[in-house]
Amino acid sequence: TCALPIWAVAAEADVDFWYASGSGFAEMYVGVGPARVRELFAKARESAKENWGAVIFIDEIDALARKRGGINNDSERESALNELLVAMDGFATEERIVVIAATNRLDTLDPAVLRPGRFTRKIPIPLPDREGREAILRVHAKGKPLAPSVDLAGVARMTAGFSGADLADLLNESAILAARRSSELIVTEDIRGAMLKVALGVGRKR
């Protein structure tokens, strides 16, 4: 789901979109990680020549770009990181390639990754507001048998602090609760019960 907004950026610019996961570059075999970095950027450069640009998105980049050194040193991961830094330094202005990455652990990234010319612009993504939560709920409600009495706008008001993943989990748990009741429809009580489970965890009798 994280890649969808970046894909929309590439679609709006009418250029190719290239996706990779940070953990996909961390391999136990020597040379595999750096080779994958080179392959990704080579393909992006080739498509940028044909389509006047390209967007590269690296999800969970902290798996690749953690601070080097320390007790958890991994030479293969560091080799892949060095290859990434070299690839980003090698961009020419006419190549029209934009590299975007996502992480929940900005504090763990190697300082070299955040130097000028690399990932210099940081855009925090906050939790959705009420209107955003309602829109997310409507997306995840498609295909689910909601009772006519279910008010998604009201659910959005009651779920302040929920992330998009929490809201998706909320409706999935609601469907499970409805199935346990052998009901064909998800009612408001199912959603309230799922809300407690998502927010507070599973209840236990003692």
What is the pLDDT tens value at each position of the chain, 206 positions in all?
455 566 677 777 778 888 888 877 776 566 678 888 888 888 888 888 877 788 888 888 888 888 887 666 667 778 888 888 888 886 666 678 888 888 888 888 888 888 887 888 888 888 999 999 999 999 999 999 999 999 999 999 999 989 888 999 999 999 999 999 999 999 999 999 999 888 777 667 77
Can you tell me the distance from the alpha carbon of 135 to that of 164, in angstroms, rounded to the nearest whole number? 10
> Residue 1 has what pLDDT?
45
Sign of CA dihedral 200, 144, 6, 54: positive
Task: Give how far the C-alpha of residue 40 lies from the chain's centroid of Cα atoms, to the nearest Å.
Answer: 19
Helix (H, G, I), strand (E, B) or coil at 169: helix
> Residue 144 has what pLDDT?
92
Query: Which residue from 104, 189, 112 is spatially nearest to 146, judged by alpha carbons?
Result: 189
By CB neighbour count within 10 A (0-12 exposed, 13-18 middle, 19+ buried), where does 134 fall? buried
Query: Which residue from 156, 155, 158, 151 is spatially nearest to 132, judged by alpha carbons?
Result: 156
Dihedral-angle region of residue 14 (phi above 0 means left; psi in -120 to 50 means alpha; beta otherwise): left
Q: How many CA atoms lie within 13 A of 128 on its CB side?
A: 19
